[in-house]
Structure 1
Amino acid sequence: MSSPNANIAASLPWPFRKHENLYFSYGSNLHLIQMARRCPGSIFKGRATLPGYRWQINERGVANVVPSADGSCVEGLVYSITPEDEKVLDRSEGVSKGFYDRQTLRVKLELHAQYCNVKTTLLPEMLRPKPRSNQQTLEKTPPPDGTSPDMSTGHRSTRQNIKALIERFNFGADQHNCCQEVQALVYVSEKYKTNGKIRPEYVLRMRSAIADAAVLGVSQVFLSKYVKPHLIERSVRPTSPRGRVGQRRVPRLPRRNNHKPARLTLRPPKGRATKHRRHGSQRMVDLAIIVETVCITSSS
């Protein structure tokens, strides 16, 4: 029976592989949970920069990169993917529908010092902050016999096992601050490259994406300049307490007493009802006299 450590070690790759298909992500696939779900065989490498391109939201409302001659660059994350992962990416990016084109571009890759060559499926759990509880505090307290907590309990948590294996196999050691140019798969839309407005559902996905990207090394300068302005909810600026720009002030209606039902019948002004009622009675009397006179005349 294999131990939990052996299973975790088997799931973690060695630092170098001869034939790696690298993929440069700059959009919603920066979100680790989405990337792990789409490409379960992917392996995280590090942060990368795509020079000569500019990040944008195109007319379809999603992220894209377009060539730029003003010295701009696009920051993102690089993953190593399997052929099966690549097929899934082609479908999710809509290559067959013409939404994106597959391009192999040169990017400047900086291998992550701590999480390089860790499977993407393991990263979300490793990066998630764990709340400290009383049980964790007791586990960190050395036992009275002087032995270590791990020796006294006889086991360690899965998260501790993963971190221990990373240190044991020295993943990413002596590789940080090492920038190298590599060829990576980049999905670029040549058909849709006009600036547009971001989709509402894409806003939530990109907020999760930039949160993970910032933790893994993408600079706040890049995110604040190109990505975050599209994620801010735009509201109308009020000019005065009376109203807002472009809105006509609507007069307030008087409040009604909710306990009394509103009267739907219309009544004539005060003083006219009695007068109208008198005129009607007088007309009836006059009409009766005329009818009686006619009857007497005809009988005689």
Structure 2
Amino acid sequence: MYPPSMQGPARSRNETVDTSRRFSALYFGYASNLSPKAMSGRCPDSIFCGLARLEDYRWQINDTQYGNIMPSQGDHVYGSLFFLSPRDEAGLDESEGVPWMYEKHTLQVERIDAEGKGTGQKVETMTYVDVQRTDEGVIMPDYIVWIKKAIRDAAPHGLPKEYVDKYLRPYIPAMEKEEEERDLIAVRVMAPRPVPL
């Protein structure tokens, strides 16, 4: 959500991180972390598991000019699921500014298929929520390309166009096609494939 999370890798260099477990969390990534390609660069140990839908929350650009989610009855948020290693989780904690900016929350989500339909499988996930800064904001110009990339990268995995149009596009000003293509090339990374939970 904040610029350091867009500069990879996010893996922590803290030598005190407990690495005795291969994975420490199932993470629900929204905003720029919706992109499986971007996350493979930010969190090199992460494993992409497909998309999921969080009910009764909505996506926003808050007054920090970056992505956030907040409780909102009747709304929903789509995000990508990733298994994170302890070092990747600690790196995301650092780049998201836990606990003074974002807080870690455990939320239940429903997995979706490649057509964007719910599978009925509900899972507990960890995600980051800014509960202090919830006023609407204007997106940071450099952040626009990351959100557009996230939309493009998540679409083949079931991200519904209706969701993008209703919740994300209102925050994203139009760019000239050449400018958008240039910026997307600048943030290209390798694409992972989803794995089953």
Q: TM-score scaled to structure 2, two decimals?
A: 0.72
Task: Confirm whether residue 25 of structure 1 aligns to residue 29 of structure 2.
Answer: yes
In structure 2, C-alpha distance between the alignment counterparts of 1:83 and 1:19, rounded to whole Å:
6
Question: Which residue number corresponds to residue 173 of structure 1?
Answer: none
Select the residue among 222, 227, 237 that pairs with 2:163: 222
Question: Which residue number corresponds to residue 94 of structure 1?
Answer: 97
User: Which amino acid letter does the alignment assign opposite residue 40 of structure 1?
Assistant: P
- Between 1 and 2, higher relative CO (CA 8 Å, sep ≥ 6) is seen in 2
Select the residue among 46, 49, 60 that pairs with 1:45: 49
Give unmatched runs, 5+ long, in structure 2: 1-21, 176-197
Question: Which residue number corresponds to residue 110 of structure 2?
Answer: 108
In structure 2, C-alpha distance between the alignment counterparts of 1:197 and 1:179, rounded to whole Å:
35
Aligned length: 153
Q: TM-score scaled to structure 1, two decimals?
A: 0.48
Question: Which residue number corresponds to residue 266 of structure 1?
Answer: none
In structure 1, C-alpha distance between the alignment counterparts of 2:120 and 2:95, rounded to whole Å:
30
In structure 1, C-alpha distance between the alignment counterparts of 2:95 and 2:46, rounded to whole Å:
15
CA-atom RMSD, angstroms?
2.2
**Structure with the bigger percentage of helix:** 1
- SS at the partner of 1:72? strand
Displacement of 1:229 in angstroms is: 1.8
**1:57-116 CA distances to partner (integer Å, 9 max, x unpaired)?**
1000111111112x11111111111111100110111114x2100000111113669xxx
- SS at the partner of 2:112? strand
User: Which amino acid letter does the alignment assign opposite residue 65 of structure 2?
Assistant: G
Question: Which residue number corresponds to residue 121 of structure 2?
Answer: 180
User: Which amino acid letter does the alignment assign opposite residue 232 of structure 1?
Assistant: P
Question: Which residue number corresponds to residue 154 of structure 2?
Answer: 213
On the 8 A contact 2:54/2:76 being kept in 1, the answer is: yes
Q: Aligned residues: percent identity?
A: 39
- SS at the partner of 1:68? strand
**1:242-261 CA distances to partner (integer Å, 9 max, x unpaired)?**
xxxxxxxxxxxxxxxxxxxx
User: Which amino acid letter does the alignment assign opposite residue 221 of structure 1?
Assistant: E
User: Which amino acid letter does the alignment assign opposite residue 103 of structure 2?
Assistant: D
In structure 2, C-alpha distance between the alignment counterparts of 1:19 and 1:34, rounded to whole Å:
19
In structure 2, C-alpha distance between the alignment counterparts of 1:111 and 1:35, rounded to whole Å:
20
On the 8 A contact 1:45/1:112 being kept in 2, the answer is: no
On the 8 A contact 1:60/1:192 being kept in 2, the answer is: yes
